[in-house]
Structures are given as structure tokens and as C-alpha cells.
Amino acid sequence: MRIIHYLNQFFGQLGGEEMTKTPPRYIEGPVGPGLLFNTLLKEGTIVGTVICGDNYYAENIEEARDELLSMIREASPDLFLSGPAFNAGRYGIACADLAQAVRKELSIPVVTGLYKENPAVEIYRKELYIVSSGSSAADMRASAGKMAAVADKLLRGEEPGLPEEEGLIPMGKRVNVFKKEKASKRAVSMLIAKLKGEPYKSEVPIPVYDSVTPAPPIKNLSEATIALLTTGGVVPMGNPDHLPAATAKFYKKYDIHDLTRLEKGQFESVHAGYDPVYANENPNRVAPLDLLRMKEASGEIKRLYPYLITTTGNSTSVADATRMGEEIAAELVAAGVDGAILTST
């Protein structure tokens, strides 16, 4: 059985960040992790590899998808593999987006591998078989083994088992499973275990979300220092600090103490998750410095914090976003900032 494998520029052995704008290309046979997959697969063989740079895919999603689909269609595969992408956001989005397109357009099975906090998981998990990988390439062998096992089942025409059995990220679907004991007996057994403090497992897992306590309101805005933050990717023209277009792992701070507005041609958005044309025409549409200066001049706020804090929220992992948020909050508190305006896209 024929398998086509998708990799980014790094795992495709073309290079690192300097090669992220590499356009799609097709290579005969396995490359990099594909060599490992071919030792693990029992029902199929990787006969070709499609490769694309992370930034090229993120910045040209429709064009990159169409180019890669054409290459994959021409190879006539029986199954499509992508990744694993671990916790790499740009790579994860490309793996999942292309896998979804292949499934819909070519009507063949697809398998990808992502870390549970990869931003692509929440977007695509309801439609794809996503193997739960580790957060980094250190987990390559284990992740490839689980992906190969799922791929072999699909090539045999079998449906994968329960997520916990296959190492898959749950799709959010409930299926009927026959048990020897009645539901009433199982429920009482779980209750007794819970009362005794013994381990037990619910048959209907409930999602757990972080609970954030809102900060108390600012009592007097006219005495408050306010900071301007954005996840819309607004940076000085030319992006001198190379803020990523997606999956940012850092934020930047730019001095705006003597600016009344963000001028066209001096600032731009590098965010790859929306069309930046209107933002670049007037960067204040994303980071409203002009309006906050008006509030400052009228006395509605006492002072505007003299720095714009910016990053790109596109495909940023929960872990990275949490870390950056904590760092920014600590810095603003130390600077005596009373509140912040955080804009998105």
C-alpha cells in the first residue's frame, strides 16, 4: 500500500528558520522521520514525501494546500501521514490542515501526530485521527510507533479502538461500548471508590478549564496608568526583531512615548492569521494608540504606559501564551500600571 508523508523544512532536512519560506516540493521515497516510519509500518510503505516551509504554508495557506494536494493526488496514495509536529504551532497547523484537505479531496485515510497543547488540536481534532505525541522530537520514536499502528489498522480497513487504547486525542464523540456489568452496578462501584478515596475512572469524562478570577475594576480612570498590548502582530516596519507570523514564543516592547498614533509605513502587522491590508493602511485599527492618546489628552486616563507590547497570537500554544502573559503582567505591575487594553485581530 502506498503512503505519502508530509514534513516541514526542518524534518524534511532542508534547513531551519532560514528555510521556512521554502515552497512545496515532492521527493521520491521517505525522508528523515519517514525512514523510521518505514521500519514500523506493516501494511504500507512511504513512497514519496511532500515538504513545505512553515512560514510559506502559514502565509500562503490556500496556495500551499492546493500545490501540495496536486502533488499528493498525482502520487495516488492509499494513506496520508503528516508529522508528527509535536508542539510546533506552524508545523502543526500545516500538518492538520493538509491532512483534512487530503481526507476530503482524495477520500483516503489520514493520520497526524500532535502534542495535546498544539493549537491545531482544538481546530481539527473532531475530524482527524490525531495521535497524542510528546512536546518535542525527543518523543519521535514513540509517536511514530503509535501513528504507524493506527495507519496499519486503517490500511486493513479497520476502525481504530478507543482513544486511550490507540494513543489518540479524543474527537469528542461518544460511542456505545458493551460491558459485562450493568451501568447501575458500575456507577455504585465508582461512587464507593470515590468515597473511600480510591482511584476510579469516569465513563463520561468532563472537560476541565482554567478558571481566571477577574481583576477588580479601576476605581478612578483619571488617576490610572494604562498600557497598550496587542496580539495582532503590530511591529515597526520591516519587523526588525523578527517576530514570527505564527506560533510566537516571545513578545516585543516598543517605545511609543513620543508618538500620537501609529503611522502607515512606520508600523505594520506581521500576523499570518488574518489579511493585514487594512491594518497596514492604519495600524491603529489593531493597536489604537490614537484613541488612547485622545483619552490621555482629555484627562480620562492619567497616563499611557510609554511602550507598546506586541506579539502574534496566531497558533501560539497555551503554555507559551501563559508564560508570556505572566512575564508581561509582572513587568506592568512593577512599572505601576493600573490596567491594560489588550487588542486582538
Domain ranges of the chain: 2-166, 221-343
Distance (Å, rounded) from C-alpha 71 to C-alpha 154? 22
- Residue 233 is predicted with a pLDDT of 94
pTM for this prediction: 0.64
The secondary structure element, H or E, covering residue 297 is: helix 289-298
Q: Given this model, what pLDDT does residue 209 score?
A: 67
Largest CA distance in the chain: 74
Helix (H, G, I), strand (E, B) or coil at 4: strand
CATH says 2-166 is which class?
Answer: alpha beta
Specify which residues 35 forms β-bridges with: none
Residue carrying the nine cell digits 480497513: 157
CA–CA separation, 246 and 88 (whole Å): 10
pLDDT at 179: 83
**pLDDT tens digits in sequence order for the chain, 345 residues long:** 999 999 999 999 999 888 989 999 999 999 999 999 999 999 999 999 999 999 899 888 899 999 999 999 999 999 999 999 998 888 999 999 999 999 999 999 999 999 988 888 888 988 899 999 998 889 999 999 999 999 999 999 998 888 888 999 988 777 777 888 888 999 999 999 999 999 988 877 776 667 788 889 999 999 999 999 999 999 999 999 999 888 788 999 999 999 999 999 999 999 987 888 999 999 999 999 999 999 999 999 999 999 999 999 887 877 788 899 999 999 999 999 999 999 988
Please name the residues in contact with 337: beta carbons below 8 A apart, sequence gap of 6 or more. 225, 226, 227, 305
| Dihedral pair phi/psi, residue 2, rounded to 5° | -90, 135
**Three-state SS for 70?**
helix
